[in-house]
Each structure stands twice: as C-alpha cells, then as structure tokens.
Structure 1
Amino acid sequence: MSPTQIHDSQPTDTTYTASNGCPVLNPRASERIGQDGPLLLQDFHLIDLLAHFDRERIPERVVHAKGCGAFGEFEVTDDISDLTCADFLSKVGKKTKAVARFSTVGGEKASPDSARDPRGFSVKLYTDEGNYDWVFNNTPVFFIRDPSKFPMFIHTQKRNPQTNLKDATMFWDYLSTNQESIHQVMTLFSDRGTPYGVRHMHGYSGHTYKLVKADGSFVYVQIHLRSDQGVKNFTQDESVKMAGENPDFSTQDLFEAIERGEHPSWTAYVQTMTPEQAEKFRFSVFDLTKVWPQKEFPLRKFGKLTLNKNPENYFAEVEQVAFSPSHLVPGIEASADPVLQSRLFSYPDTQRHRLGPNYEQIPVNCPLRSFNPVQRDGAMRVDGNYGSLPNYQSSFMKMGYSRRAGVSSDKHENWVGKAILYSPEVTDDDFVQARELWNVLGKQKGQRDNFVQNVAGHLCAAHPTVRRNTYAMFGRVDSGLGSAIERATEKNALKN
C-alpha cells in the first residue's frame, strides 16, 4: 500500500464483527451459564478481545521512545545536480512525499516533552527510487565518536538498575570520564537543551554522508534543516513548569499548529567538502563530536520540508514508523564515520525486534515500489509473499537491475591498514569548539548564567568525587566556567 493510500483503506461495511469477520449480535454481552454462572470458553469474541488487549503494546524504542509526527512534502528549491545524481533532487520544483517524527532521546514513552534532552528529528522521503531516511538530531554533534560506547552511555542516561531512579552520579560519571562529550554537554545544558516544542528547532545530520554523481565521484556532506519558524527555547524553570502543566506540550503544539493551517517548515542546506579537503583538514570529518565551521564550508540551500497533514492514527503512522540511516537511495551514500556505520546495522535491527522482520510492509514504511523475491516468509507476512515466484536468483525469471553508477574506485577510499582497537584519546582539540560555544553564550544576555545554573541544578545530586571530576572537565573549557559551576553546585548541594 502506498503511503498516500493509508487513509483510503477504511471499510465500507461497518457491521461489527469478531476478528474472523463473523457478525456479533451484541458486542457488550458475554456467554455464561445462567444469570450468575461462570463464563464459557467457547465465547470467541470475549476471549479474542481480551487476548488482543493483552498484546496491544509493542516494545517501546530503546531510545527516542517519546515522539510526535506529521506528514508533508519535500520540495527542491535550488539546483544541486552538480553534486549528486539522486533522482529526487534532479530538478527544481520536484516534490517528494514525506513523514517526520520528532522525539526526546533518553526518556520513556510517558516522559515530558520539555525535558532537558537532545531531540530526534527523523524524516522519511518516499522517493521514486526507494525510501530515503534522514535520521537527524536537533544538535549538530553528539556525545560519542566510538560506537562501542553507545549502549554504556545510554544506560547512564536512563535508570539506576537498583533504585530504578534517574541517577545524577551515573549521568555525570560517564560524561566526566569520557570528555570527548564536552561539546554536546555544552549544547545540552544551554537553553538549546530545552526547545520550545519541535517547530522551533533545527535538525542536523551530525554524521558525514556522501553525495555521489553518476561517474562515481563524490563530496562529503553534512545536512542542515533550519526552522523557518525561528529558534525558540524554554528556560530551565519554564521547562520544569511545562513538564508539570502539560507533559505533551510538543505533541499538542505540532498537532494544533497543523490543524490551524500554520504548516511548519524547514529550509534544507548542505555543507560540502571534497576528499582532498578532508585529507588535509585539521580533524577527522568522521568525528561526530565536532562541527564543520561554516566560514570554511558555507551552507548551500537546496530545498524545503513542509509538514501539512496530521496523522489519522498515532499508533499506525507514528509509533510504527521505522527510520534508519541505512535507508539510502542512488546518489547518496554513507561515509566511514564509525558511529554512522554502527547505526546502519543497529536501526533496522531494532525495528525487526520491535515491529517484526516484515516491518517494511507496514503502510507508513512501504516504499512506493519494491521487488525482492529472495526476502520471503517471516512473522506477519501479509502481502502475498511473491506467490509462486522462485525465492532465489532464477535463470527462468527476468529481473531488472539498477543501471546507476556503482561504488567509485577513487584512490581516496582504497582502505589499507592493520586491524586495531579503535578508542581515540581525548585531547585539547576536543575542547576547542566547546570553548567557542562558551564564547558565543557570552554574547547572549543571561545565557552564561543560565548554563551554570542548569548544570549546577543537576550536578549537585551527584557523588562528590564525580562532582570534582566534572568541575575539572568544565575547567578545560574555561577556568572561570569550571570555578563558577563548582561554586553554584556546592551551594546547591548544601541545601539538599
């Protein structure tokens, strides 16, 4: 079923039936012995209702559990065909249907929308050459550059295994002993860590990707989605107040804005870097903890994402939507970024667990067209399973293949080296961009004070040893910052 047909699938006959289609005389009655006797096992309608009810909940996402979403379209506004052969970007004015989901990262499904947390910003583009997913965040960097740290990091941001409570010691112990995270920490504890809903925040690829031309040549890219509504954030006090008054603020704000006809939009930009520039650049372009300076690699506009239609059913179209950075199309490829490479596997794998091996058959996940008769069977196969077609590459079956360019043999990507344990050390270079962000906050009224208080209000609950390690980490950004956080935190700790 095409994504555009999701809402055209309502039955015309609305006679109430059991799940097998048998009409039910009275859906509010149960079969039993006499007026007060026991129920009968033969009452299929009752047993089926209860059994299905017990199974209504599917596993929530391990991260990004709380989210909201909407449908819309992406339109090419500026020509970048000199960078890529991607068909959906081939001409100005071309439009592609889309669905977007926004989410907090660390909280559970019932957590407040206004919590201090990075935000997921994912978009599925239903292109003529397959589904292409932007699996972005609202921050341009992340806490890690080594994928083996990801499960450990996420555990420290969730609940203590003994108390089942959020734990400030776990939280800050990880960050202060893995100090490559400092740039993201600086972003998270500024007011950008509590965005005013999802309409007023940017989206960033964070990872480096490649835009590829028909001849196989490519440039490295980072993609930015900049809110046309402008950036707007809560202060710490405002976010806490909203969490109590309306924990679903972002969900409600997005839905009601679209209902009013105030369709949120984001302008899409790309930063580009040639392989030659990457080889000479002062840090690895595969480092997720750092941004590309816009003065050196300016933003180039190429499109606009607009959300103009609310979902008809949250579970079917938002809870079941499945994104992955490995959902790519010809003309766009993954880079050697190690965290991205890990996500290429992890995202589809979590959807196979959460939704089943045939999650791509769910209407919101269906590509416009697909043909893969080797991929068969599995739980909840509901589309005919390719009928009598052979389930291997048969010489009796004509099967078309893409005529698009394959992988380039450019010498830049002829990888040679020994197998090593990848665990890069933290250096002074990891604090350069965090220091630049601290300087930017100094130019914005009240933002430095807000940052110090935001950190101190959370850090004060951590173990004293962890607090001292954290002061030292912030001191590497700026000695005055480390001292200010120590004074404010210890003052708060005395009150607790």
Structure 2
Amino acid sequence: MSKIETTTGSGGETHQRATGDAPVLTTNHGVPVSDNQNSLKSGGRGPTLLEDFVLREKIFHFDHERIPERIVHARGSGAHGVFEATADISDLSKAAVFTKGEKTEVFVRFSTVAGGAGSVDTPRDVRGFAVKFYTREGNWDLVGNNIPVFFIQDAMKFPDLVHSVKMEADRAYPQAGSAHDTFWDWASLMPETTHMLMWAMSDRTLPRSFRTMEGFGVHTFKLVNAKGKASFVKFHWKPRLGLQSTIWDEALKLQAADNDFQRRDLWEAIDSGSFPQWDLGVQVFDQAFAEKQPYDVLDVTKLIPEEDLPVRFIGTLTLNRNPDNFFAETEQVAFLPSNVVPGIDFSNDPLLQGRLFSYLDTQNSRLGTTNFHQIPINAPRCPFGNFQRDGKMQTMVPKGRANYEPNSLAAHGEEGGPRESAERGFVTTDATTGADEQGEKLRVRAELFADHYSQARLFYRSQTESEQAHIASSFVFELSKVGLLDQVPPRMVANLRNVDEDLAQRVADGLGIDLPKKAPAAREPVDMPPSDALSIHKNMKDTLEGRAVGILYADGSDATELDAVISAIEAEQGKAVLVSPKVGGATLSDGSKRKADGQLAGTPSQLFDAVAVILSDEGCKALMKEAAAVQFVMDAFGHLKAIGASEAAKPLLDKAGVEPDGGVTGLGDDFVAAARGRFYAREPKLRMLA
C-alpha cells in the first residue's frame, strides 16, 4: 500500500514523503532525495554548501530549461542612467560607488516575472528592478523587485515556485497570470508564501508606471568599511514621483488598449527629457539589532518595518538615455547577484546563497558562452584582466604566454599578466565581525523562519480600507480561477485566517464557501504596529508631475477653455494629451483646427491619470451616440479618476453614469487639484468582489 504523508518541518515548511510503494523523488541519476525543502547549510543560519549535489543538480537543470529566453523576467524594459552618491557613508562601506559626489554609469532593467518575452506589460505580477552599476572597482549588480519580500525562504524551492506559477504544463496557459490551479495548489501548501501573497494581491503588482514604483534589494546584504567592520544592510529605491498604481479593471483595459503601456511610458518620459529618478536608501543594522527582532533578518519572507529602522538616503538614480538597440542592450544584459565590489558583501540568506550560483549558470545557458561579460552592455567600464581564456565567442585577443599564475615570465622580459591585490581586492568578512553565524552542517531552518503570518498581518493591517478591499478582491478573483482542485481555495482561506479573520471571511464570502477551520501555524503570529510605508495610498504624492491628463474635445469645443486647461496642466508639470473623434482633430469655436494626439476609439481613458471633457452642445449630442465616448467617461469614473467637464458636456457624463463627488468638477482650479489624486470613496458603490 502506498500513500503520501504530509508533515511540517522545523521551519514550518511542508514535507510530503512517500511510504510503501509510492514513487520516490530522486535526482536525475536515481539517488533518492531525503529533503526537497531545505538546502545543506553550515548551521541553521550558515552559508549554503557547495557539496549539496541535490541542490546543484536541481538548480542546474532548472537554469537550462529554456533557451534563450530568460526563464523568469523574460519581458523587460531597460534604460541607461547615472547614480550619484549624495551622502558620506565611509563609516559603513569602503565601496567607491558610495564616495560622496561620485557619479557612476548604470543600466536598469524593469520586468514582469511570469510571462514570456512576447507577453504584456500590465498583468498582476511582481516587477523586477535590476540595476547594473559600472563602478571604477568593477560591476555591482543590485538585482531586486518592486516588493521587499519573496515567496520562499530557501533557494531549493525556487524551481518549484516558478514551475507552479508558469503556464500549466499540459495546456500552456495562462501565459502571464497566477490565477490558476497549479500556482495556488503550491502556494496554499507553502505557508511561508503568505506574506508575499498579501503584497502580490495588493495594488503593488499593478503599478501605474515603472517611474512610480519602489524597488528593493530584497535580501539582506552587508556593508564593509575600510577597517573590515561589517554591518547588515537592506537596499531601497524610492521614486521621486511617489507611488502610484492602477486598479484591476483599469489594468485589464490597459492590456487591451496597449500591450506595451509601461514600456512606452518609460521610453517616452526619457525621450521627452522627463528623466525618472529614484533615491537609494539603506536600512543598516548590526547583529545586536537583528537578535532583538521577532523575526530572522536572513528570512527573505520578512521585512524590517521602516518605523523600526528608518531608511537613510545615500544617493540618487537618474535614467537619462534610452537604449540604442533593444536586443544588444536590454535583452543581452546579464545581471548577477554575485557581482559585488569591495565594501559590499553577502549575508547567509539561504535564498541569496542559491541565487549566487543560479544566475551565473543561467547567463551561460542563455547567452551561449562563458564570455558573456565581453558583450558591451555587460562589460565593466574599469580596466579588467585575468587568466580566463578561450571559450565560445571569445572576442579578446590576449597576447603572450601568460595564461596562469603565479609565473616568473616578467623576469625574462615577457608580460606576466595581472596579480592579486591584498589592499584593493575583495575579501569576504568572517564570523569574527559578528555579522555571521555558522555551525555544523544541517538541513534545517532557523526557528524564527517558522513565523509565516506576523508580517503578512502587518502588511494587511497597514493598508487603507480601499487597499484591503483590493487585496480581498484579488484573492477572490485568483482563487475563483482554480478549477478541478476543489481543496485549494478552502486551504488558502484557512491560511488567511492566521493573517486576519475579516480578510478570510471576505474571501470565503466572495468565493461562496464556508469559512474553513483555521490552518495550524508552525509559529503563532504576533501583532506588530502598522507601518504607513507599506501602503501605496499613504505614499501617493499630491502632484500632476509625470502624470498624463486626457482631454476629450470635438467640433465646436471652446478654444479658450481648451487652452486654459492645457496651460493649467502644463503649469503643474503634467502632460496634456488631446483626444478627438478623428485623429486629424476638430474645428474649435474660434474656427481654428486643433490636431489630436490620439483618436478616441484607440485612446481610452485608462491611458490617463485624469480626464477633461470639453464639448459644445452639438459636440456633446454627437458624442452621446458614440460608445467610445460614453466608455471614455464611464471608465474614468469607474477607475476613480478626476473628471473635469464643461457645462455642455454634462449630458455625456449623465449617460455614462457619473455621479457627482469631489472628483467631478468644472474646468478650473478645482479640476487641477482633483487631478492629482484618485477618489477611492467611489469604489464600494461600483464594484466589490469581496
């Protein structure tokens, strides 16, 4: 007789073990696997060991599954720029990139995760935020996301995560979404995913623009100063334009309107001289701080609340040049978490340790050669030299006989090649700094890794009422797409009861199922003070800068009103976009012809952050017969945007079901003020899945 026994490990992870004649999980060479959840580490919090052949084979095989498209983050958009260090942190790090006033070239790639290179920009998905710094000491790659935590705690589980969230193996869909059986089956069996799922179901995965989302290094790294003292650090990118997101219905319609919406937005902003900017911030702490926290700082499913450890800003990133060739630069750029420079080092985060191997191996598979560092977009800007030779696509032509060291060729008048440097070379900080802990070799997780719900609760309870509604609605939508696996939605809701009872009840009600029994927690969650830094709505800026306002006009529209609205928008550093029934434009009240930026049927209101409708009586009558015009206004209202309207345009608003509130105004100063934000109070009256 065979069956599967499900147990919980020391870190709260799920183990499913075969008994009897049930099939046993093995390596490619038939060796039975005892633990598919944890990599072999030097102690519970020590570094992952190279001798772990199970991990190496699993990651190695996973890294080579697809050629040449990236396995994850396949769809990306890139830009060149500069990073300027603005603060003196020499007490923390000796890295030259952080020298106050130092300007360093960078290349940044934003991406979605689940979809292929031919997918779309606007699905509900994590966004990659990877920065390559071409420092004078070599390349530093800060490879992160727009969410500060992750689904899993150990690199051993990364192939399982990606396999589950990618399109289902038998049917090859859905292409770029997580609303399907296999992802939620896996996630509901992995309590450690809960905190990340709260973020994924929030509006963080529906950013309005790459320019209005945060970036995070995700992992805990180290900063090392000139005296060898190490400190823990977490990296943050804060957008100068503030946070802004779309809402679900808007994102769906954006996908239909423009598959390249965020790619186009980034390109056009840079092309027009509106250079996107982010401030680089750090949370720096020592071992004593780490030991006082109710979570493990090496657990990548946890964050450090900014209220407990404020972010210190140390530099500014400016993107100021678009790529010359998408393939040569954006597609061929190779980011490696293992690319660090003296003054920056790794912690024993088990997910980070696995990535150090995985990314390098992936680039060899994807780009076809170990010499991918010679591709211009990947090449360091500083002098470099070593004794690595040959290989496929070798483009350098080393001279002389020196392809090894030590050598004594220089004593015979020959070029001896580069040599190591004790003063300038990279060194790894050791346990004597107090920044590391090591022990015997074990397949375990540290005890605090078992708390999967406290920070998920913190995240949910830090959101505004509208954001909480979006999270509940997102869970309902995603879980409603689970088909034959009836046990999955109740299992997921049972996990959510550990986060918040009201959230779990709302999701259960939205799915039309009974509230299941609460899932047992491997470690009981604790309440933490809410953190405003975790909310999008609490961090939105009251500004039109970097935002677009769509202005719908037609024959007979008042020229004076139109020019006044355009001037008011531009005075606030916003972008006015003219939309007309015909791309050739319309004849205004003064007899002049005004060309449009977009034709109504192909330029819906979801492309904009606010809309103005400037019509004459006759123009309004004509547009009331046009479905695209009614939908333009209806969607703007439904997507919680400000609507400014001329007196003659009000019948169109009435037909679209627009109800008066603070966001529905005339065309004066009130409209410009309203256009800076959104009106979430409308939402419960319009739609609520949960």
Shorter-chain TM band: 0.7 to 0.9
Amino acid corresponding to residue 167 of structure 2 in structure 1: R
* Shift in alpha-carbon separation, 1:238–1:387, aligned structure 2, 3 A: same
| Corresponding residue to 1:257 among 269, 283, 291 | 269
Q: Look up the match of 1:137.
A: 145
Change (3 A) 1:245 1:341: same
Structure 2 stretches lacking a partner, 5+ long:
1-65, 410-415, 514-688
- Counterparts of 1:80 and 1:236 in 2: how far apart (Å)? 41
Residue 365 of structure 1 aligns with which residue?
378
The match for 1:429 is 451
Matched with 1:467 is 489
Q: Name 1:399's counterpart in structure 2.
A: 418
Is the 8 Å Cα contact of residues 118 and 188 (structure 1) preserved in structure 2? yes
Question: For residues 300-315 of structure 1, what are the structure 2 equivalents within 5 Å?
Answer: 300-315=312-327
For 1:258 and 1:303, locate their aligned partners in 2 and report how far apart those are by CA, in whole Å: 20
Alignment partners' CA distance in 1, 2:438 and 2:445? 19
Deviation at 1:346, TM superposition (A): 0.7
2:210 partner SS: coil
Q: Quick one: structure 1 residues 136 and 202, their matched pair in 2 at CA, closer, same or farther if it must change by over 3 Å?
A: same
Distance 2:394 2:292 in 1: 50
How does the TM-score come out when normalised to structure 1?
0.84
Which residue does the alignment assign to 2:94?
85
SS at the partner of 2:451?
helix
Letter in 2 for 1:103: S
> 1:316 and 2:325 equivalent?
no
Task: After TM superposition, list the pairs within 5 Å mapping 1:217-232 onto structure 2.
Answer: 217-232=229-244
Q: How does 1:269-308 map to 2 (within 5 A)?
A: 269-308=281-320
Q: Which of residues 78, 103, 107 is equivalent to 1:99?
A: 107
Mapped contact 1:76–1:95 kept (Cα < 8 A): yes
Q: CA contact under 8 A between 2:188 and 2:492: conserved in structure 1?
A: yes
Match of 1:75 in 2: 84
**How far apart are the structure 2 equivalents of 1:58 and 1:315?**
15
User: How far, CA to CA, are the matches of 1:142 and 1:430 in structure 2?
Assistant: 12
Provide closer, same or farther for how the CA distance between residues 83 and 373 of structure 1 changes in structure 2, counting only shifts above 3 A. closer
Secondary structure, counterpart of 1:430 in structure 2? coil
Q: Percent identity?
A: 40
In structure 2, the residue corresponding to 1:364 is in which secondary structure? coil
- Corresponding residue for 2:364? 352
The RMSD of aligned alpha carbons is: 1.9
Give 2:503's aligned residue: 481
Separation in 2 of the partners of 1:198 and 1:102? 7
Q: Distance in 1 between matches of 2:306 and 2:223?
A: 18
Q: In 2 relative to 1, CA 63–232 (structure 1 residues): closer, same or farther, beyond 3 Å?
A: same
Larger relative contact order (Cα-Cα within 8 Å, sequence gap ≥ 6): 1
Conservation of the 8 A alpha-carbon contact between 1:204 and 1:225? yes
Contact 1:141 1:291 in 2 (8 A): yes
Deviation at residue 414 of structure 1 after TM alignment: 6.8
2:201 and 2:430 map into 1 onto residues whose CA distance is: 44
Q: Deviations over 1:40-91 (max 9, x none)?
A: xxxxxxxxxxxxxxxxx9611000000001000000111111110011212x
State which of 388, 393, 401 in structure 2 corresponds to 1:380: 393
Residue 147 of structure 1 contacts residue 342 of structure 1 at CA under 8 Å; is this kept in 2?
yes
Counterpart of 1:363 in 2: which secondary structure?
A: coil
Aligned equivalent of 1:202, options 192, 214, 233: 214
Structure 2 counterpart SS, 1:360:
helix
Shift of 1:215: 1.5
For the Cα contact (< 8 Å) 1:125–1:132, is it kept in 2?
A: yes
**Structure 2 CA distance for aligned equivalents of residues 414 and 239 of structure 1:** 44
Higher mean C-alpha displacement, 393-402 vs 316-325: 393-402
Q: 1:60 aligns with which of 46, 69, 91?
A: 69
Residue 163 (structure 2) pairs with residue 164 (structure 1): no
Check 1:121–1:387 CA distance in 2 against 1; reply closer, same or farther (3 A cut).
same
The answer to whether the Cα contact below 8 Å between 1:180 and 1:426 also exists between their aligned partners in 2 is no
- Partner of 2:251, secondary structure, is helix
**Secondary structure of the structure 1 residue equivalent to 2:80:** strand
Aligned to 1:3: none
Q: 1:118 to 1:414 in 2, by over 3 A?
A: closer
Q: What secondary structure is seen at the aligned counterpart in 2 of 1:435?
A: helix
Alpha-carbon offset, residue 399 of structure 1:
2.9
- The answer to whether the 8 A contact 1:226-1:268 is kept is yes
What amino acid maps onto 1:273 in structure 2? Answer: F
Partner secondary structure for residue 446 of structure 1: helix
1:153 is paired with a residue whose SS is helix
Contact residue 144 and residue 216 of structure 2 kept, 8 A: yes
Q: Is the 8 A contact 1:216 1:407 kept in 2?
A: no
Q: Which amino acid aligns with 1:407?
A: T
8 Å CA contact retained: 1:114, 1:197: no
* 1:460/1:490 contact within 8 Å kept: no
Tell me the TM-score normalised to structure 2 length. Answer: 0.61
> Is 1:124 aligned to residue 132 of structure 2?
yes
Counterparts of 2:374 and 2:137, CA distance in 1: 17
In structure 2, distance between residues paired with 1:367 and 1:459: 46
SS at match of 2:370: coil
Aligned residues: 432
1:454 is aligned to 2:474: yes
Shift of residue 275, structure 1, vs aligned partner: 2.3
Would the alpha carbon gap of residues 431 and 168 (structure 1) be closer, same or farther in structure 2, given more than 3 Å must change?
same
- The separation in 1 between residues aligned to 2:328 and 2:310, in whole angstroms, is 39
Deviations 1:274-315 (A, max 9, x none): 123223433221100000122222111100000000001000
Decide whether the 8 Å contact of 2:135 with 2:382 is kept in 1: no
Deviation at 1:465, TM superposition (A): 0.5
d(CA) in 1 for partners of 2:185 and 2:377?
40
